[in-house]
Chains A and B, each alone.
Chain A
Amino acid sequence: MLDLLSGFVIELRRAGLPVSLTEHLDAAEAVRHIPLEDREGLKYALAATLVKSSSHWRAFETAFEVFFAVRGGHGASGDVGEVGDESDEEADGAAGTGEGGPRGQGRSQNGGGGGEGMTPEELAEMLFKSLLSADAALMNVVARNAVDRYAGMEPGRPVGGTYYLYRTLRNLDLDAVLAKLMSQAQVGAVGDGLTDLEERLAADEYKARIDKFRRAVETEIRRRLVEDRGAEALARSVRKPLPEDIDVMHATRDELAVLHRVLQPLSRKLAVRLARKRRHGRKGPLDFRATMRRSLSTGGVPIEPRYRHPRPAKPEIFVIADISGSVASFARFTLHLVYAISSQFSKVRSFVFIDGIDEVTRFFEGVVDPAEAVARINLEADVIWVDGHSDYGHALGEFHRRWGDEVSSRSSVLLLGDARNNYHASGSWVVEDLQRKARRVYWLNPEPRDYWGSGDSIVGEYAAHCDDVVECRTLRQLEHFVGNLA
Chain B
Amino acid sequence: MNLGLPDSGPPRFESLDAVRGGLAQVGYLADDSISGVVYLADRLSKPVLVEGPAGTGKTQLAKSVAELTGARLIRLQCYEGLDESKALYEWNYRKQLLRIQAGEHGKQEQEGPSWAELEEDIFSEDFLLARPLLEAIRATDPVVLLVDEVDRVELETEALLLEILSEYQVSIPELGTVRATQLPMVFLTSNNTRELSEALKRRCLYLHVDYPDLDREREIVRSRVPGISEELADQVARIVRSLRTLELRKAPSVSETLDWARTLVILGVETIDAAGARDTLHVLLKYQGDIERAAKELLSVS
Contacts and interface: CB of A to CB of B under 8 A. Distances in A.
B8 to A, nearest CB: 13
Interface in B265-293: 272-274, 277, 287, 289
Given A18-B198, A26-B44, A197 B193 contact: no
A30 interface: yes
Nearest to A35: B16
A30 B37 CA distance: 10
B274 A196 contact: yes
Contacts of B207: 48
Contacts of A197: 239, 272-274, 277, 298-300
Contacts of B37: 44, 48
A44 B33 contact: yes
Interface of A: 18, 20, 22-23, 25-26, 29-30, 33-35, 38, 40-41, 44-45, 47-49, 51-54, 57, 195-197, 200-201, 204-205, 208, 265, 268-269, 272-273, 276, 280, 368-369, 371
A273 to B, nearest CB: 6
Interface string B196-221: 00100110111110100010000000
A29 B249 contact: no
Contact of B239 (A54, A201, A280, A369): A201
B161 interface: no
B192 A265 contact: yes
14 contacts: A33-B43, A34-B40, A47-B206, A48-B37, A48-B48, A48-B206, A53-B201, A53-B206, A197-B298, A200-B297, A201-B239, A201-B242, A205-B238, A276-B154
Interface string B171-203: 000000000000000000000111100100110
Nearest to A32: B43
Given A195-B273, A204-B241, A44 B43 contact: no
Contacts of A52: 49, 201-202, 204, 206
A147 B201 CA distance: 41
A2 to B, nearest CB: 14
B15 to A, nearest CB: 9
B46 interface: yes
Contacts of B43: 30, 33
Contacts of A45: 36, 40
Given A41-B32, A48-B33, A53-B195, 17 more contacts: A26-B44, A30-B40, A34-B36, A41-B16, A47-B33, A48-B40, A52-B49, A53-B201, A54-B52, A196-B274, A197-B298, A200-B242, A201-B235, A201-B242, A205-B238, A265-B192, A273-B194
Contacts of B277: 197
Nearest to A21: B202
B117 interface: no
Interface of B: 1, 16, 32-33, 36-37, 39-40, 43-44, 46, 48-49, 51-52, 80, 154, 192-195, 198, 201-202, 204-208, 210, 214, 235, 238-239, 241-242, 245, 247, 249, 272-274, 277, 287, 289, 297-300
A320 to B, nearest CB: 28
A165 B86 CA distance: 56
B1 A29 contact: yes
A200 B298 CA distance: 7
Nearest to A280: B154
Main secondary structure of the interface of A (DSSP, over half): helix
B182 to A, nearest CB: 20
Contacts of A38: 16
The 9 residue pairs across chains A and B that have the minimum distance between CB atoms: A44-B36, A52-B201, A48-B205, A196-B300, A44-B33, A33-B43, A204-B242, A54-B208, A48-B37
Contact of B289 (A30, A196, A276, A368): A368
Contacts of A272: 193-194
B238 A33 contact: no
Nearest to B241: A204
B287 A368 contact: yes
A22 B46 CA distance: 12
A27 B51 CA distance: 19
A57 B208 contact: yes
Contact of B202 (A22, A30, A35, A368): A22
Nearest to A279: B80
A276 B46 CA distance: 31
B51 to A, nearest CB: 6
Contacts of A44: 32-33, 36-37
B290 to A, nearest CB: 9
Contacts of A201: 235, 238-239, 242
Contact of B39 (A33, A196, A276): A33
